[in-house]
A = this chain, B = another copy of it.
């Protein structure tokens, strides 16, 4: 029996997906929204966490690290993500969190079941159709520092506020913003935020 914890924010969709997975006799299926996921990992002790990368929160980024897959040791769940090729930044986060399985939401639901079984055996499972997304994730041009600056700007912080919270000078923040605008091929700061959010980097 494979214990699966399905993590998805919209209850309606999550319930139907979980019911659908329960038709498989070898799967024991639990489900949870993101906010309760870390607690459910501890209580359910799943073999596999199957996680939808799109949070319902407008700019929510999934706290994949909190699921504890990275460590990968005994008793840690293996991580499988439901992803789309159009959000390479989210794919990159899944890679960094040590995900073993990558199922394309644009594909057939049978792939999800096959992915869960493979990942439960500790093997990689990757949908080919996500290939272009991985390419874009690998090309992601911004450094971690530049992303911190841009995230604060996207929250509406001024140059002075960004400088204050990251302990940088105003000039350095302006230099970062100029580099970010250039590297993302944006016309200006707002355009850089738009592009980076669209790609799922922020």
Please, how many angstroms separate the alpha-carbon atoms of A193 and B15 in the complex? 33
User: What is the 8 Å Cβ interface bit string for chain A, positions 89-116, against chain B (1 contact, 0 not)?
Assistant: 0000000000000011111110110000
Copies of this chain in the oligomer: 2
Which listed residue (B19, B58, B107) contacts A198, Cβ 8 A?
A: B58
User: What is the 8 Å Cβ interface bit string for chain A, positions 170-194, against chain B (1 contact, 0 not)?
Assistant: 0000000000000000111111111
Q: Are the CB atoms of A106 and B12 closer together than 8 Å? A: yes
Closest B residue, CB atoms, query A20 = B16
| Given known A-B contacts A56-B86, A58-B197, A187 and B156 have beta carbons under 8 A apart | yes
Sample 14 A-B pairs with CB under 8 A, ordered by A number: A10-B84, A10-B106, A12-B82, A12-B105, A12-B109, A13-B105, A56-B84, A58-B86, A58-B197, A155-B191, A156-B187, A156-B194, A158-B187, A189-B190
A87 interfacial contact with B, CB 8 Å: yes
| Given known A-B contacts A86-B56, A86-B57, A12 and B107 have beta carbons under 8 A apart | yes
The contact size tier of chain A is 35 or more
Q: Are the CB atoms of B56 and A12 closer together than 8 Å? A: no
Which of A's residues lie within 8 Å of B, judged by CB?
A: 10-13, 15-17, 19-20, 56-59, 82, 84, 86-87, 103-109, 111-112, 153-158, 186-195, 197-198, 200
Q: Which 6 A-B pairs give the minimum distances between C-beta atoms?
A: A156-B191, A10-B105, A58-B198, A16-B20, A156-B187, A12-B105
Closest B residue, CB atoms, query A10 = B105
Q: Are the CB atoms of B105 and A186 closer together than 8 Å? A: no
